[in-house]
Amino acid sequence: KWDAVRGLGVAAERIASSRDLGFREAFLAATGGEGVDVVLNALAGEFVDASLDLLPRGGRFVEMGKADVRDADQMAQARPGVRYYSFDLLEAGPERIQQLLTEIVGLFERGVLRHAPIRTWDVRRGVEAFRFLREGRNTGKVVLTVPAPLDPDGTVLITGGTGGLGALFARHLVARHGVRHLLLVSRRGAAVEGVAELVAGLRELGADARLVACDVSDRGQVAELLGGLERPLTGVVHAAGVLDDGVLAALTPDQVRRVLRPKVDAALHLHELTRGMELSAFVLFSSVAALIGSPGQGNYAAANAFLDALAAARRAEGLPASSLAWGLWADAGGMAGTLDEAELRRLARMGTAALPTQLGLELFDQAQRLDDAMLVPVRLELGALRSQARSGMLPPLLRGLVKSPAKGAAAGGGSLAQRLAGVAEA
């Protein structure tokens, strides 16, 4: 706080702490014993008396707080020549307050006044904001903000917008959230089969959907895309992604790049190129694979872990962001469409069940009402999790969901190494 005051040009000898009474002697010394003409006070108790001692005859004491309001007549008797005022804005009445605020806003707009530093907190994090205030470390004002809904006059960009999930959420944003202008981006754009029907359906719902072929992993193409928008961008849904599975030891650099580019590079470009835009939503479609792992998908898990971290980093900067670590979708247009029956059965044994479309959409809506950088909308089967726990194969993140067997009671007994040693050679 002292640095902020010095930055305003206040001399060092005219700055003192309000946490002890030393300011009285400091300011008397700085003014050659003359004191000050006006005190704007928000302190209480003995600090009020120390501040009053700084006022000569003709001085004015303006009480702005509510903790220690004193009687003006008694103050006049105790401090002859000092005028005491208790300031309460509400006494001015609503019309006068509106007039004052209008005048003040005009002064800020013209650059006559500069506001104090502002730190904003989403109103859903109000408890956290008040805890921060109580620590007494803030400079300026702490402001609670109400999350803005998606502006129907703005544009919402969906990457992977012609894929199964992209198309699904395009319809949902129009039907449920009132979005009227969509920019659906994919590598092939309008050349994708079925997009004509998608656009026609969105038009019937009252939305204008524009299809664009764009490699969102290419920063130049993303910059050109955003620079050509006719309406301001108000929301981003990053649903692009590809799979290229392989056991970790056998993954090639090309496989890693192929999976990371549409997830990681694209998200980073969108993050950097939209920083100056007034976004209401910046939603990243991640995967539970980043949290509990998925055999053969080390590259995919790493890409999604980056999305989760990016959402947290944006939130730390005061930017909107949420990363949704989706589980398996039942819709064939989602990830399930790339898996064969054996892989689906393996996931089921692991306890990950397919998420019905309607439930997935409802979870998306709930996520937009929460103030978490990352959420995990996934459907789990407790029976399968218990089986995994008994075999000692349950991922650590999920162990709190089911009762773990007693130590040494896992299937076959002994450590994993001991159990593997007893397996017959193929």
Phi, psi of 387 (to 5 degrees): -65, -40
CA distances from 33 to 29, 51, 333, 394 (A): 6, 14, 80, 74
Do 343 and 217 lie in a common domain?
A: yes
CATH value at residue 31: 3.40.50.720
- In percent, the amount of the chain with pLDDT more than 90 equals 50
Print the domain residue range for 27: 13-91
Do 207 and 128 lie in a common domain?
A: no
Report CA Rg, the chain.
31
At which residue do the structure tokens 């006719």 appear?
Answer: 230
Do 79 and 99 lie in a common domain?
A: no
Do 367 and 404 lie in a common domain?
A: no
At which residue do the structure tokens 């002292």 appear?
Answer: 2
- Please indicate, yes or no, if residue 173 is contained in any of the structural domains: yes
Check residue 1 and give its pLDDT. Answer: 75
Give the H or E element holding residue 204. helix 195-204
pLDDT digits (tens, 9 = 90+) for 84-136: 999 888 888 999 999 999 999 999 999 998 888 888 877 777 888 888 888 87
Residue 292 CA to residue 308 CA, distance in Å, equals 13
Q: What DSSP designation does 322 have?
A: E
Question: Distance between terminal CA atoms of the chain?
Answer: 71
- Please indicate, yes or no, if residue 276 is contained in any of the structural domains: yes
The separation between CA 233 and the C-alpha centre of its own chain, rounded to angstroms, equals 18
The separation between CA 379 and the C-alpha centre of its own chain, rounded to angstroms, equals 24
Task: State the pLDDT confidence band at 268, using cuts at 50, 70 and 90.
Answer: very high
Do 216 and 236 lie in a common domain?
A: yes
For the chain, the domain total comes to 4
CA distances from 355 to 51, 212, 305, 359, 377 (A): 65, 29, 21, 7, 9
Check residue 337 and give its pLDDT. Answer: 47
pLDDT digits (tens, 9 = 90+) for 353-387: 888 999 999 999 999 888 889 999 988 888 877 88
User: Residues with Cβ < 8 Å from 253, sequence gap 6 or more?
Assistant: none
Do 68 and 111 lie in a common domain?
A: no
Please identify, among 83, 111, 145, the residue that sits at the C-terminal boundary of a domain: 145
- Please indicate, yes or no, if residue 424 is contained in any of the structural domains: no
Do 213 and 345 lie in a common domain?
A: yes
pLDDT digits (tens, 9 = 90+) for 413-426: 555 665 566 555 65
- Please indicate, yes or no, if residue 3 is contained in any of the structural domains: no
pLDDT digits (tens, 9 = 90+) for 131-178: 888 887 778 888 888 777 788 889 999 999 988 899 999 999 999 999
- Please indicate, yes or no, if residue 398 is contained in any of the structural domains: yes
At which residue do the structure tokens 């620079």 appear?
Answer: 227
- Please indicate, yes or no, if residue 162 is contained in any of the structural domains: yes
Q: What angle do CA 224, 225, 229 make, to 5 degrees?
A: 110
Choose from 31-35, 187-191, 298-302 the range with maximum mean pLDDT: 31-35
- Please indicate, yes or no, if residue 425 is contained in any of the structural domains: no
Do 29 and 164 lie in a common domain?
A: no
Q: Cβ(276)–Cβ(265) under 8 Å?
A: no
Q: Cβ(324)–Cβ(283) under 8 Å?
A: yes
Do 162 and 288 lie in a common domain?
A: yes
Q: What is the mean pLDDT of residues 35-52?
A: 94
Do 339 and 281 lie in a common domain?
A: yes
